[in-house]
Amino acid sequence: MERLTDQDLAELRELCPGGVSMNVDLASISQWKIGGTADVILRPSSSAQVANLRRWFHERQMPHVAVGLTSNLLFSDEGLRVPCLQIGPRMGAVAINGTNVYAQAGTWVPGLARKLMKAGLTGGEHICGIPGTLGGLICMNGGSQRKGIGTSVVTVESVDQGGFRCVRSVTDCGFAYRQSVFQGNNEVITSANLRFVPGDRAVVRAEMRAILAERRQKFPRKQPNCGSVFKSNPAMYAEIGPPGEAIERLGFKGTRVGGAEVSPEHANFIVNRGGARARDVLALIAAIKHKVECATGYQLQAEGHYVGASGTIMPLDGGSQEDMPPDQPGCGGPAGP
Ligand SMILES: Cc1cc2nc3c(=O)[nH]c(=O)nc-3n(C[C@H](O)[C@H](O)[C@H](O)COP(=O)(O)OP(=O)(O)OC[C@H]3O[C@@H](n4cnc5c(N)ncnc54)[C@H](O)[C@@H]3O)c2cc1C
């Protein structure tokens, strides 16, 4: 990949004033506290800046990657050699008008849930404990309590790779369990119109408190992590239970590879005990998948994503890329980490 020249950087600083950072230690900004150095991170403050940056990249055929607060991402130990657009607090405006809510993609999700509660709206309680941006939440169709944000979406505004503005209605967003079209269409989400339902503020507040209390009790909070590693599979859930239970039954709780550990509190979380590398996490994921498949016949699917040094984003269990661990032996061979 070609390095950015001084002239390139000067132009990027004009397109994204006050939002250009060089040589950023990804371990210091990512939620898992893992990753090498990113050459350049751009934090735009408007959808117009996102469009201008993407057009600039497009004209130079320069690959780049878009992230939110990195709460679902594992960065490569080799860092990031392509520019990274981080859509965060500089694009965090929210406007509530009756039951209609406009929010920019960098909106902090727990803050949005509190704003909905204060406005007397219900339907957003399930997102109150999810530590990401609205853009990341929409891309992942994230949620809790068996819900996804997609059910509250009216339209999503994005910028395509040529720098053109797109507006998609909910039916064009391809929402399914932890999925949306934005995981594959190379658009950067800049804002969304959402709709909620009038509710009783006190009831909404009580529901949010209950959800947060349950999460505090169930999920590891002290060590850096990226939430649930594996998606729940309905057939497996009915037969065996959620991924965490299957993983726990196989004795993985507390298993470590380097600085990465299967959380002793919840087996579907991998925590960074200090100094974990991406390859440690990937090795644990591969070992868990292998052993669960051998024991149950079900193939777990990762929920989080891996960001390679070239900016490729793929599921954490994304297969045979060069910085992924080698395939595990067959079920007859030695299994486990
Ligand atoms: C402690 C903890 C608990 C969690 N609990 C939950 C939970 O209950 N439910 C749940 O669903 N998730 C949960 N997560 C995962 C994560 O918080 C969500 O997936 C979140 O929505 C990701 O938002 P983000 O801004 O951090 O996105 P990132 O992690 O930065 O990115 C995630 C994906 O979205 C893409 N993306 C991000 N922003 C944009 C944008 N503006 N335009 C286009 N694509 C974009 C990225 O390219 C990437 O593919 C949890 C994570 C942690 C650390």
* Reported CATH class of domain 234-315: alpha beta
The HSE-up count of residue 130 (CA atoms within 13 Å, CB side) is: 27
The pLDDT tens digits of the residues spanning 250-261 come to 999 999 999 999
Q: For the chain, give the number of residues.
A: 337
CATH code of the domain made up of 90-203: 3.30.465.10
State the fold for domain 6-88.
3.30.43
Q: Is the pLDDT of residue 328 over 90?
A: no
In the reported structure, the alpha carbon of residue 289 is separated from the centroid of ligand 1 by a whole-number distance in angstroms of 22
Quick one: pLDDT at residue 327? Answer: 52
Q: Ligand 1 pocket test: pick from 69, 107, 130, 212 the residue with the most ligand atoms within 8 Å of its Cβ.
A: 130
Instruction: In whole angstroms, give the CA distance from residue 130 to residue 230.
Output: 16
Q: Beta strand 65-67 with 84-86: parallel, antiparallel or unpaired? A: parallel
Instruction: In whole angstroms, give the CA distance from residue 304 to residue 64.
Output: 19
Domain-wise residue ranges, the chain: 6-88, 90-203, 234-315
The pLDDT tens digits of the residues spanning 29-75 come to 999 999 999 999 999 999 999 999 999 999 999 999 999 999 999 99
Instruction: In whole angstroms, give the CA distance from residue 238 to residue 49.
Output: 47
Catalytic residues: 178, 228, 303
In the reported structure, the alpha carbon of residue 68 is separated from the centroid of ligand 1 by a whole-number distance in angstroms of 7
Closest ligand 1 atom to Cα of 189: 42
Mean pLDDT, the chain, as a whole number?
93
The pLDDT tens digits of the residues spanning 119-167 come to 999 999 999 999 999 999 999 999 999 899 999 999 999 999 999 999 9
Instruction: In whole angstroms, give the CA distance from residue 149 to residue 123.
Output: 9
